[in-house]
Amino acid sequence: MKTAILTGASKGIGLAIAKKLNSMDYKVYGLARSFENTEYSHKNFIKITCDVLNTHELEKIINQIESEEAEINLLINNAGVGFFAPHEQLKIKDIQTMIRINLEAPLILCKLLLRALKKSKGTIISISSVTAKKISTHGCAYASSKAGLSHFSSSLFEEVRKYGVKVAVVHPDITSSNFYDNLDFTYDSDSDAFLLEEQTAEAVEYILSCSENMVVNDITIRPQKNRIKRKSPAGE
């Protein structure tokens, strides 16, 4: 049985990935700020309450996992957050939170786990966003944090490929998930205009199922139709 560490594992795309990995016979250490509303349970889904913004706690948990497991085979950087508005209207704290969760935490986790992943010839998968690849008005900071993650992943692969480590990025477009709960826009109700959380998990499965000599560095998945829906202001 292989061992995976997955951030943002309590809901949405992260939980879908956890379920997929369990079905592939992975033992999954799932990290999230809270599992209070996570109904899914599995003997090989180990829930660990951890805020990736707390670097000291994160390092302690990773060290603990490494002490318990003979081998770490997979790191999936999934935890992410987005705030959208004209850039001048964003709160400074929100900008800092996006950079730290979307970019800083994955960089730190890769640093902490690279030696173990070199030893196991393991895989690093980061869940970025299609916005990393395009101009994103009202989402400049979010897109930049995701673009940074994507560029880091490409550079890291060139650094570690000689050790047998695979590095990949998934760029999902708009997805039917909790990501939009606190935003002023969401996915359209037309089923051709959004992705399912499970489809990003399927992309992860594809990356992990490739032949040993082949690396899929970049997968972009998009719905057939390009459409979003603005939410009505409260009270309307």
What is the distance between the alpha carbons of residues 131 and 117, in angstroms, rounded to a whole number?
Answer: 28
Residue 163 a catalytic site member: no
pLDDT of residue 95: 98
pLDDT tens-digit profile of 185-224? 676 678 888 899 999 999 999 999 999 999 999 999 999 9
DSSP-derived letter for residue 155 is H
Residue 98: both structure tokens together: 């996006």
What's the whole-model pTM score? Answer: 0.93
Percentage of residues in the chain having pLDDT higher than 90 = 85
pLDDT of residue 226: 81
pLDDT tens-digit profile of 79-122? 999 999 999 999 999 999 999 999 999 999 999 999 999 999 99
What is the distance between the alpha carbons of residues 221 and 119, in angstroms, rounded to a whole number?
Answer: 31
Identify any residues that bridge with 46 across adjacent strands, giving them in sequence order. 29
- Listed by start position, the domains of the chain span 2-230
Annotated catalytic residue within 29, 142, 180, 187: 142
pLDDT of residue 231: 54
Amino acid making up residue 227: R
pLDDT of residue 83: 94
Strand pairing class (228-230; 123-127)? unpaired
Strand pairing class (228-230; 185-187)? antiparallel
Coil vs helix vs strand at 73:
coil
Question: What integer is the mean pLDDT of 8-33?
Answer: 98
Check pLDDT > 90 for residue 227. Answer: no
pLDDT of residue 185: 67
Check pLDDT > 70 for residue 235. Answer: no
pLDDT of residue 172: 97
CATH superfamily label, 2-230: NAD(P)-binding Rossmann-like Domain (3.40.50.720)
